[in-house]
Amino acid sequence: MRLLSDHEINLVSGGWGSSSSVYGGDITITGYMLADLSWYFDAVPYTDGGGGGGSSSPSTQDAEHQQTEDANDTPCVDQVPAGVDLSQLNDLAKYMGSVLAACQELSDWEWGAFIYKGSDGQLYQSEPFTAGHHDNINGATISLPPGAHIVAYLHTHPDDGPMDQRMLSDPDRSFISGLIGSSNSNWSADTNLLAYVVTNDNTTSYKTYVYDKSNRGKTSPGCSL
């Protein structure tokens, strides 16, 4: 039996056609980390040894976790977490989307990440995380610093079969609802957190699509960054 810890999140989420069951309970907080995947990060210059790298340290509040790419405007977004600048959040998400896309290309696994407001009020990207599965991240864990407030969730969808992978799936929406509804003393998730899907489905390259609280149930693609 493993000890419980307050700063790690056990993830259950998947794309269309995922073999995972729909998530229906509180977020489970666990005290274990993924097996050492640091060799994957060698090809993606974005890690401090935390998250999927196997370290238990949740300290990722530094400039290395604030890297950005210029994102397109997203007129489809009407609701944003309080005190968060949409343009900055999209720029952070576009960079992180590129990291996750590179991880998926290398491994053919589904990858995820959070963007959170740190204890200093600034926005940071978490380390990429995976469970080593092709179409879900069930069981993956990620460390967050104490006091982290999650304002965005990103994950990849593989280009699989006839379903359009650019939208959120039912398991994705259930996971987001569980994340927001979870009661935890060390981290929290914003009611208006933005969800980003990273995929190359129906496109010639990976793109990142954004969904706010009002359109998480959309059946057509959101704005792309």
User: Which three-class secondary structure string do you get for 41-59?
Assistant: HCCCCCCCCCHHHCCCCCC
Burial level of 14, CB count in 10 A (0-12/13-18/19+)? buried
Lowest model confidence (mean pLDDT) among 28-42, 77-91, 132-146, 148-162: 28-42
| Residues 60-82, mean pLDDT to the nearest whole number | 93
Q: How far is CA 33 from CA 130, 133, 139, 158, in A?
A: 11, 16, 10, 24
What is the C-alpha separation between 146 and 132, in angstroms, rounded? 26
> How much is the pLDDT for 59?
53
The tens digit of pLDDT for each residue in 128-167 reads: 988 887 777 777 777 788 899 999 999 988 877 677 788 8
Lowest model confidence (mean pLDDT) among 98-102, 203-207, 221-225: 203-207
> How much is the pLDDT for 124?
96
pLDDT at residue 55 is higher than 50: no
Residue 46 pLDDT class (50, 70, 90 cuts):
very low
Angle, CA 22 vertex, CA 19 and CA 24 arms, to 5°: 150
* Single pTM value for the model: 0.77
The tens digit of pLDDT for each residue in 167-208 reads: 888 888 888 888 898 877 788 999 999 999 998 877 778 999
Give every CB contact of residue 63 below 8 A, 6+ residues apart in sequence: none
